[in-house]
Structure 1
């Protein structure tokens, strides 16, 4: 049975190159191509491929953002021009990748590795989850959060976020336009969001630009009053962080 493969890259020449390389191996069959993340998500839902070759840097929706929206991602081989720091993240999490530009020989090795994983019935979901929780560019903080809200995809710029609150294995993201639920840990958001966000409590991560004032709630207990009128609990460690960060 052939390994059903979907090619996802915004560059037509890049898709053609992979198409030509993959034809040399009879164990693989290309079932479709997508030029952006939105088109890819539609095709993955419809075609349910076993494998995707995924470019990371794409317009509209990046490859990593696409993966975040997939509840059951297929096996993934990343096609990337990322720097060495990102490559180390791929290798650490045992995720297959092709560094652009890549040769036919390097591509063949990737196909062999995929077949080995399929034969060994390796579950790659944990590898992808670990990669998505790692900041691939520490000097480039997250600029937005992509959320699937029913059939809609919401792009939420980080500056629009007021605060985040833990909710089991999920996190509520509060904005002036409403709140959104994302399956991610607060620790992951701490790593991904810029320094304008501060963990003030085990359950809360706050955009410091949205703080109005710090209030005494009970003896040795404090709350933050946000500019939208919401009050957020502050732990002892959070109080210490606030004093050090904001000079209070």
Structure 2
């Protein structure tokens, strides 16, 4: 039981970092990335991935819009350079919030929380 993760971020730098770090998590099966929020929106509706990590501040459809549309159906990890978005993101239903710049351990902890939410099992160290 491994996770299928979609990462959405308009910054190529943050997108590639998140992808690289997520792929090192032992319980992540696959990572698909999107720089365009509208392309991600279409994919999420069709493919119904297990978990989505989304930047809050993006042009077009932002991360809060994603939470409003999908948080009741999919576990979300929200991310931003602005810590003040955490409260709103959690109110909208994100499982965890990671502040940029984030570390490997912070991202892995967020993925552990999502895994627990989906499967009801804690990740073994």
TM range (shorter): 0.7 to 0.9
Structure 2 residue 82 is matched with structure 1 residue 82? yes
- Corresponding residue number in structure 2 for 1:111: 111
Structure 2 residue 7 is matched with structure 1 residue 7? yes
Q: Which moved more, 1:7-16 or 1:107-116?
A: 107-116
Cα separation, partners in 2 of 1:71 and 1:79, compared to 1, 3 Å: closer
Higher relative contact order (CA 8 A, sep 6+): 2
TM-score (norm 1): 0.43
Partners of 2:65 and 2:88 in 1: CA distance: 16
Residues paired across the two proteins, number? 120
TM-score (norm 2): 0.81
Deviations 1:137-183 (A, max 9, x none): xxxxxxxxxxxxxxxxxxxxxxxxxxxxxxxxxxxxxxxxxxxxxxx
Could you say which structure has the larger radius of gyration? 1
- Corresponding residue number in structure 1 for 2:98: 98
Partners of 1:109 and 1:43 in 2: CA distance: 25
Let me know the Cα RMSD of the aligned residues. Answer: 2.4
- Corresponding residue number in structure 2 for 1:229: none
Higher helix share: 2
Partner SS, residue 39 of structure 1: helix
The answer as to whether partners of 1:57 and 1:80 remain within 8 angstroms in 2 is yes
- Corresponding residue number in structure 2 for 1:120: 120
Instruction: Give unmatched runs, 5+ long, in structure 1.
Output: 122-248
Partners of 2:16 and 2:95 in 1: CA distance: 23
Cα separation, partners in 2 of 1:69 and 1:114, compared to 1, 3 Å: closer
Partner SS, residue 38 of structure 1: helix
Partners of 1:10 and 1:41 in 2: CA distance: 13
The answer as to whether partners of 1:2 and 1:28 remain within 8 angstroms in 2 is yes
The answer as to whether partners of 2:96 and 2:110 remain within 8 angstroms in 1 is yes
Q: Show the 5 A alignment for 1:108-187.
A: 108-120=108-120
Deviations 1:8-44 (A, max 9, x none): 0001111111111112123112342111221111111
- Corresponding residue number in structure 1 for 2:48: 48
The answer as to whether partners of 1:67 and 1:73 remain within 8 angstroms in 2 is no
Deviations 1:182-240 (A, max 9, x none): xxxxxxxxxxxxxxxxxxxxxxxxxxxxxxxxxxxxxxxxxxxxxxxxxxxxxxxxxxx
Instruction: Give unmatched runs, 5+ long, in structure 2.
Output: none
